[in-house]
Amino acid sequence: MSDKPDSTLASAFASSPNHGARAHGRAPNCLVLHYTGMASGEAALAHLRKSEAQVSCHYFIWEDGRIDQLVREERRAWHAGASCWKGERDINSSSIGIEIVNAGHPGGLPPFPPAQMGAVAALCRDIAARHGIPPERVLAHSDIAPGRKVDPGENFPWAWLATQGVGVWPDDVAPAANAPLLASAPLLEGDCGERVSEWRESLARWGYDIAPGDTFDAHTRVVVEAFQRHFRPARVDGVADAETQGVLSALLRGFGDRPV
């Protein structure tokens, strides 16, 4: 098999043995972004290439913007783990996984350097163009595994990335002419009723793994935290306050329910 990377942006093929066939001939329809969460990029890359680790990714982006490919795009890399998005539970078969070197929460959430983020933006645009991946399907690991994963973290510059044509941000959605001011009463763990039922339905429409119900339970809270970590990172508290409700409403108005 050729060791030439699939993307012309990758400078090397650092092969990992941790991959398999995509189930049922699935083609990639989403991008999943991760941080490595380890003390160094060298340690993270070595881990992703160990067969006993049983984990890998398609691409690996260093702090200086260098890009390595570990698994061919046609193959199923083992990066997502137990996860779900819009009812799809084998995310590994339907995604391309990108690991971004960053110590993450264990290392105090250091910033992502400009050179690295430039490479992230360019690689995501390249992959999305070649596979027809829509912007709303550029996802955080925390989106597809709420409560289990928190990467790439609340310091990841999603808003900036959207200005580079990657992913979506609520500022890109024009407000509805009759949209109410941010005055909705907050919803929080322990609440019950029709508003909670509608809120859970809205989270599921966006893609989160949350079943119908009228109780704001612990799972609802961690899903809200995942949503905030991506789209309202200034305060990740699991409370569906007026701002959080408004952001989700705007995203659904602009991008919700579009076919893959």
203-230 pLDDT, tens digit each: 999 999 999 999 999 999 999 999 999 9
Q: Per the residue annotation, which of 73, 88, 99, 225 is the catalytic one?
A: 99
Specify the CATH number for the domain of residue 39.
Answer: 3.40.80.10
Q: Are residues 30 and 91 both part of a single domain?
A: yes
**Within a domain: 2:** no
Other beta carbons within 10 Å of 185: 11
3-state DSSP call for residue 127? helix
Stated pTM of the model: 0.95
Rama region for 160: left / alpha / beta (φ>0; ψ in -120 to 50; rest): alpha
Contacts of 24 (CB under 8 A, 6+ apart): 93
With residue 121 as reference, give the H or E element that holds it: helix 114-131
Q: Are residues 77 and 194 both part of a single domain?
A: no
Q: Are residues 174 and 132 both part of a single domain?
A: no
Supply the DSSP string of 172-238, one letter for each residue.
GSPPPTTPPPS-PPPB-TT-BSHHHHHHHHHHHHHT------SB--HHHHHHHHHHHHHH-TT---S
Domain that holds residue 106: 12-163
109-151 pLDDT, tens digit each: 999 999 999 999 999 999 999 999 999 999 999 999 999 999 9
Cα Dmax for the chain: 58
From 144, 163, 182, the end of a domain falls on 163
Active site residue 99: yes
85-97 pLDDT, tens digit each: 999 999 999 999 9
| Residue 96 DSSP label | E
